[in-house]
Amino acid sequence: MEEILRFVHVVGSAVLFGTGAGIAFFMVMAHRTRDAATVSHVAGTVVIADALFTATAVVLQPVTGAWLALVVGWPLSEGWIVLSLVLYVVTGLFWLPVVFIQLRLRDLARGAASAGDALPPAYFRLYRVWFAFGFPAFLSVAAIFWLMLNRPAIALL
């Protein structure tokens, strides 16, 4: 059972990290075109990818992680596990608003593309927030990877 749980947990983390990186890359590349139709199409795809892949992995990761810890015998109060969970919450605090921002970016781009207009100022304001929120989320996930791989001894106060 441990091998299956470990496999599912690792695959889930790869999906979470990979989808996030892919979404970021394609959104940035679409944004750079400043073309409303391109941004509309890519943002629409990004919203679907987030719903299918990221959201599924977000739900499965803590479940498989807790189950794996139980099977292996790691107490959930281990410092590296607690810090991983804190970083997971931090990631979520930045990811959840991004989901709604992506929906709004898509809608703004669709509206502009339908009207034959340029992307509106509201799009660019939201895009800057979307872009900025990616950094703490990405760094938190990278730190979680490090913690999971190294399982350092971290004393809790």
DSSP 30-45: HHHHT-HHHHHHHHHH
- Tell if the pTM clears 0.85, that is, is over it: yes
The span from the first CA to the last CA of the chain, in angstroms, equals 33
pLDDT of residue 39: 98
pLDDT of residue 17: 93
pLDDT of residue 155: 87
**Residues 61-101: pLDDT tens digits?**
999 999 999 999 999 999 999 999 999 999 999 999 999 99
Band of residue 156 on the pLDDT scale cut at 50, 70, 90: confident
Backbone phi, then psi, for 77, in 5-degree steps?
-90, 0
Give the CA distances from residue 10 to residues 2, 5, 80, 103, in Å, rounded to whole numbers and listed in that order.
12, 8, 17, 29
DSSP 103-130: HHHHHHHHHHHHHTPPPPHHHHHHHHHH
Residue with tokens 């590349």: 29
**Residues 54-64: pLDDT tens digits?**
999 999 999 99
